[in-house]
Homo-oligomer: A and B are copies of this chain.
Amino acid sequence: MAFDDLQFPMPVPDPNRPGETKDTFENVVGGSATYASFAAACYAPVRIVAVVGDDFPKATLEQLAKRQIDTTGIEQATGLTFRWKGRYRPDMVGRDTLDTQLNVFADFRPKLPDSYRDTEVVLLGNIHPALQLEVLDQVSSPQLVIADTMNFWISGEAETLAALLKRIDVLVINDEEARLLSGIHNIPHAAKDILARGPKKLIIKRGEYGSLYFDDDGVFAAPALPLETVADPTGAGDSFAGGLVGYLARQGNARHQTMRHAIVHGTATASYCVQAVGTGGLANLELSAIEQRVSDVRKLYYLGESP
């Protein structure tokens, strides 16, 4: 879990002061696990594994617990919580990191409580692949494993990442990461290459353009909703993954067709995330609202019979 200090190119609504806007936000509670847990909890019970420092607000932990999220796996370490400071560019997509403080995250070794070991659906957030493997080793009999990773590990920890890829069902990365991982620019060829490395299914995120999904049944393209308001893109990918994994856990299978629907649910969930600063769009989100937006996404590419 994390604190984010965010700078935007224009004022955006302040979730703590309805009706007011500002362009700089400090101490925003974030982190992959936070976003993904809030998102997944709209669908199914969640067990979170993360580390926070002694500066982390009790109120947020209580907020998580209220949303069917088991917080037993949140380690309370001595020191400060991970902190990221970034500035978004005028396009609200590109961003520059101004500062990263690992703090208690530097020595984090995720340890699953005994009560978590029977978890069937596992989402491995973007951390060192060696730690992702350690988490997986602590789950007794995982039925579905979904993993995220990033450029930093693809370039610097290729061997460990290769070992991880052999043990996961679904890899969720963006197009640049897919190109870096495969060494292939063409996306369909890159996807084939990556699927040959272990994962049975591959989701390639393309930001505002949506995502592509590859499995042995073919390709699925899910456009993103063109949104009139984007307040804070932080957490979009994590809430996409959270919505996806939550939907799959709720359905109890990851068949071709279920995966396609899960991706649309992830898309809808992420659209709520980016419309508010921090986890403001997710923390009180209801499944009925997501389903409304799933219906909007479906309308977006409704074609019907040939006229």
Contact = CB atoms under 8 A, between A and B. Distances in A.
Contacts of A208: 187
A255 interface: yes
A11 interface: no
Given A186-B228, A206-B209, A209-B209, A222 B304 contact: no
Contact of A210 (B187, B221, B264, B304): B221
A226 interface: yes
Nearest to A298: B303
A134 to B, nearest CB: 33
Nearest to A93: B185
A218 B300 CA distance: 8
Interface string A172-195: 000000000000011111010000
A258 B255 CA distance: 33
9 contacts: A186-B227, A188-B228, A191-B226, A209-B210, A210-B221, A218-B299, A219-B226, A255-B307, A257-B307
Given A210-B223, A253-B307, A260-B304, 8 more contacts: A186-B227, A186-B228, A187-B226, A188-B227, A209-B209, A220-B300, A251-B307, A264-B303
Interface of A: 90-92, 185-189, 191, 206, 208-210, 212, 218-223, 226-228, 230, 251, 253, 255, 257-258, 260-261, 264, 298-304, 306-307
